[in-house]
Structure 1
């Protein structure tokens, strides 16, 4: 399964491309949060229970959730892997197309998985997985509809998983304040704060199920430096608000650039834009030969997804190729 951010793969595809590469294949904020100074002891000792509790409290305040229902994890990917192992094999509906690891993880867990186009098609599945806003098309699902679905699934012993990886910088109503029996919310830290390398994410659930997720992760799942950085960044609501405005302006600029290059924007978020081109494979090749890596889709060859360029030089290089 291919993912964005694999510059080794880009170099194999385009060995003569100029360096350094401009990696636009992910949806990670290109302007990272300024990391605070870290005590050297964080690297020498195991994280203390108090460190974990402090991050849980800060995350609960940021997400409007119950601290007892917050589970810090080393990225949301591990949570995507763990959740299918906590339920007996059942029928799972994933609203697709979306982040492919969801379907893959539930299938690896022995579940019968089907991709469905919308909420109405979930049918009798016991588990529903929705990415909101969706990746790669940016679709947003109303919170009221998701809560109503959660109630239906809970009544028959089911579960709804909403992946809000791109919700921080969007005008999306989160389900974190409503996490309860039958509802689990996943939140990414690295995408919003441009710090994917520290590996931090959260599950938000009712406390009993949250404890099961935490037990599956085991002790010391999140590093001490990640706990410290996460606590400072999540408490900085001012930075988050400014980032939302700045990245939305960047996304609008990218939309205009894509349109001038003959593309038709079909969706996205403040951190990525997805567009169709008459010759998607040809544009992917031209970009690659120029040292610019974007996300392509095997099932939709005309479609490309663009992350946000990080600086003036990258914007100019992308503009030249699109023109």
Structure 2
């Protein structure tokens, strides 16, 4: 796999139909019934273009959720759209903290932006070191919690990356999967701060493409400058509106609390498999390290057993012996654990 292909590799490629999916971090097979009903209620309006009032209502709901103003919110067709828009900010040098989600780097490199990678270290718990970021970087990208390490960085450490003349983008796609969202910057006002949020994971809306950005209005305007008319669909606007309302926020908090218990149980079960190291984290996925040289053949054996896991060697700073697995129900975890133990026994050291 070449450099460009690796940056564009995502878990949905690993999760072919028919496989038990530990590769994609979406929770559940689809949105809850109440959200389906809200979306279905918009179907009769699909003959009309999305309207400004709907966008304004969605922005107001997000603003209320995070203690901001509506003009500090930009509704996106998923965080991926936001990453694709980053070149509109015209950075001279972008620093991307890795291992991390690769789409921002891919979008920046495709646009000819110079990119420097700031690598965190497993021996240091993949801790964020703000002083490792080059002072010359006028765009810094970091995930919190970071994908795929699952590390939740202290908000003050992330905020320390802000600097005059710099845009700091914090990808909080999984922040609502951590109870209380303790290290989120979505409600903070810092010069140059952008925070991206996604509805994909908690609400099982990967096929809808819905998310939002928060930040200074002038910065959001620069980000949005290249967008075509009607960039966000009526259904996505309704999803953002619905999922930012207080009952939905309370539901996501309960889901996050359940995930904490599920994650702990899954980590314990995987740690009990001889040769498997589960790296510390707080996200709804776990980063595993297998014995030297056995990652790829084990991943192949798992696929043969009908189980998809996310290869992690496409994340800068990780290698073929790293795998990422989503948090799943106990019965599915039992199947993964059994297949993983069998594969490690079968694959020679």
Q: Extract structure 1 runs of 4+ deviating beyond 4 A.
A: none
Instruction: Within 5 Å, give how 1:283-302 maps onto structure 2.
Output: 283-298=298-313, 299-302=318-321
Aligned pair 1:217/2:227, yes or no? yes
Q: Of 163, 166, 170, which aligns to 1:162?
A: 170
Aligned to 2:156: 144
How far, CA to CA, are the matches of 2:103 and 2:160 in structure 1? 25
Q: Of 264, 267, 276, which aligns to 1:252?
A: 264
- Output one character per residue of 1:241-288: Cα deviation in whole Å (capped at 9) or x when no partner: 110011111111210221122311113434111111123223212210
Instruction: Within 5 Å, give how 1:1-323 maps onto structure 2.
Output: 1-6=8-13, 20-30=18-28, 32-34=30-32, 35-37=35-37, 38-39=40-41, 40-87=43-90, 89-117=91-119, 118-124=129-135, 125-150=137-162, 153-154=163-164, 157-170=165-178, 171-235=181-245, 236-262=248-274, 263-278=276-291, 279-298=294-313, 299-309=318-328, 311=329, 313-323=331-341
How far, CA to CA, are the matches of 2:48 and 2:239 in structure 1? 16
The Cα of 1:226 is off from its aligned counterpart by: 1.8
Once structures 1 and 2 are overlaid, which stretch shifts more, 95-104 or 266-275? 266-275
How far, CA to CA, are the matches of 2:191 and 2:69 in structure 1? 13
Q: Is the 8 A contact 2:88 2:223 kept in 1?
A: no
Q: Is the 8 A contact 1:5 1:25 kept in 2?
A: yes
The 3 A distance-change label for structure 1 pair 269 and 140 is closer
TM-score normalised by the chain length of structure 2: 0.82
The Cα of 1:180 is off from its aligned counterpart by: 4.4
Aligned length, in residue pairs: 308
Once structures 1 and 2 are overlaid, which stretch shifts more, 190-199 or 206-215? 206-215
The Cα of 1:289 is off from its aligned counterpart by: 0.6
- Output one character per residue of 1:277-305: Cα deviation in whole Å (capped at 9) or x when no partner: 12322321221011111011234111110
The Cα of 1:185 is off from its aligned counterpart by: 0.9
How far, CA to CA, are the matches of 1:220 and 1:265 in structure 2? 44
How far, CA to CA, are the matches of 1:81 and 1:320 in structure 2? 40
Q: Is the 8 A contact 1:23 1:292 kept in 2?
A: yes
How far, CA to CA, are the matches of 1:270 and 1:31 in structure 2? 19
Secondary structure at 1:41 match in 2: helix
- Output one character per residue of 1:117-139: Cα deviation in whole Å (capped at 9) or x when no partner: 33211122222111111111122
Secondary structure at 1:196 match in 2: coil
The Cα of 1:86 is off from its aligned counterpart by: 2.2
The Cα of 1:31 is off from its aligned counterpart by: 6.2
The 3 A distance-change label for structure 1 pair 26 and 172 is farther
- Output one character per residue of 1:168-197: Cα deviation in whole Å (capped at 9) or x when no partner: 122432112224431111111111212111
Aligned to 2:124: none
How far, CA to CA, are the matches of 1:80 and 1:210 in structure 2? 13
How far, CA to CA, are the matches of 2:228 and 2:217 in structure 1? 16
How far, CA to CA, are the matches of 2:58 and 2:184 in structure 1? 19
How far, CA to CA, are the matches of 2:282 and 2:183 in structure 1? 14
Q: Is the 8 A contact 2:192 2:219 kept in 1?
A: no
TM-score normalised by the chain length of structure 1: 0.88
The Cα of 1:233 is off from its aligned counterpart by: 2.1
The Cα of 1:64 is off from its aligned counterpart by: 2.9
Secondary structure at 2:230 match in 1: coil
